[in-house]
Amino acid sequence: MNSERPSLQCRVGGLNLRSPIIAASGTWPHDPSFWRGELTAGLGAICTKGITRNRREGNRGIRLWETPCGLLNSIGLQNSGVEAFISGELPEISSRDVPLIANVAVEDLPSLAEVLALLASVKDQIDAIELNISCPNVDEGGIAWGSNPESTAKAVACARSLWSGPLWVKLTPHACDIVKVATNAQECGADALVVANTWLGMAVDVENEIPVFDRVVAGLSGPAVFPLALRLVWEVASCVSIPVIGCGGVAEARDIVAMLFAGASAVEMGTALFLDLNLPAKITLILKEYMRRHDYASIEEMVGVASHTGGM
């Protein structure tokens, strides 16, 4: 067999990736030393933490809470703001081994326009935008931008008009109709869809008889949500023609294979990285061995293998 086979390279949403494993937003250290060398060996790309127009301090109180099979987080989009990102953080990781995906949080359309206009000025340093439409839309009673097809269309159309490079859209699992949300995002110019963001959960301090988090609810990630994310990937991939990136509970090689078979073209890994930053490199070895045993020469051959069988 050719030494280059099986190949983990894949093309996703306008980018050529050396691996189908992408570090999800907010889960990879910003330290420049972590963006090159052995630690990045198994990664195809890295998503930045969420970027907003202005600096955000994040939520008060407890921010992380372990569950039996996952993690609840209530970070609150803590970041230094887009101007500080451009002037300070971006130059620090200019010498990197993997593509940079800038995760942009949609707060409101005017702010989004400003953020993207500023990022467009350094477009040569950013490989793609990942649009996070899970943030509250204050003009619609606080529901997430991605909760309904109409607001999704507005956000994606705004981003597409200002950003000419690859545009990925990260969907919320709480959309009223995720298939329609996905098709609207595609029609408005998305190059790929990330399915999906965290599920809303809650934890209670039973000794003090109060919610653990100041904001009561928090985002649940980790192995507990994997079957839910897998189902959404299958649903969305069946109805769009652009690549789908599976996200939610991916922790081992078998999870990646399942996501690919369900229709994903790549995956994002997040919570599992908190336990082991070397995990992507380890998984790629296992993934290659699986591909050899099952006679798959490329990632592309695996996409959608199980997406058109079975039913409800």
DSSP annotation string for 36-72: SSGGGTT-SEEEPPPB-SS-B---SS--EEEETTEEE
| Of residues 196, 256, 268, the one with CA closest to residue 228 | 196
Alpha-carbon distance values, 223 to 29, 121, 170, 262, 292 (Å): 21, 38, 19, 17, 26
Question: How many CA atoms lie within 13 Å of 51's alpha carbon, on the beta-carbon side?
Answer: 23
Q: How far apart are CA 288 and CA 17, in angstroms?
A: 15
Quick one: pLDDT at residue 308? 62
Element (H, E) at 218: strand 217-221
Q: What is the pLDDT of residues 126-174, one digit of tens each?
A: 999 999 998 866 566 667 999 999 999 999 999 999 999 999 999 999 9
Residue extents of the structural domains in the chain: 10-58+77-200+221-302
Say which of 10, 47, 69, 135 is annotated catalytic: 135
> What pLDDT score was predicted for residue 281?
97
Q: Give the pLDDT of residue 309.
A: 57
Phi/psi for 93 (5° steps) reads -110, 25
The CATH code of domain 10-58+77-200+221-302 reads 3.20.20.70
- How far is Cα 8 from Cα 17, in angstroms, rounded to an integer? 8
Residue whose C-alpha is closest to residue 9's, from 311, 206, 291, 308: 291
Give the list of residues 6+ apart from residue 42 with CB closer than 8 angstroms, or none. 19, 21, 278, 279, 280, 281, 282, 283, 284
Distance of CA 169 to the CA centre of its chain: 9
Q: Please, what's the b/e burial string for 220-246 (b: 16 or more CB within 10 A of its CB; e: otherwise)?
A: bbbbbbbeebbebbbbbbeebebbbbb
pLDDT at 53: 98
CA distance linking residue 120 with residue 163, whole number of Å: 6
21 alpha-carbon distance from chain centroid: 11
Assess whether 176 carries a catalytic annotation. no
Residues of the chain with pLDDT under 50: 1-2, 311-312
Tell me what pLDDT residue 230 has.
99
What pTM was estimated for this model as a whole?
0.96
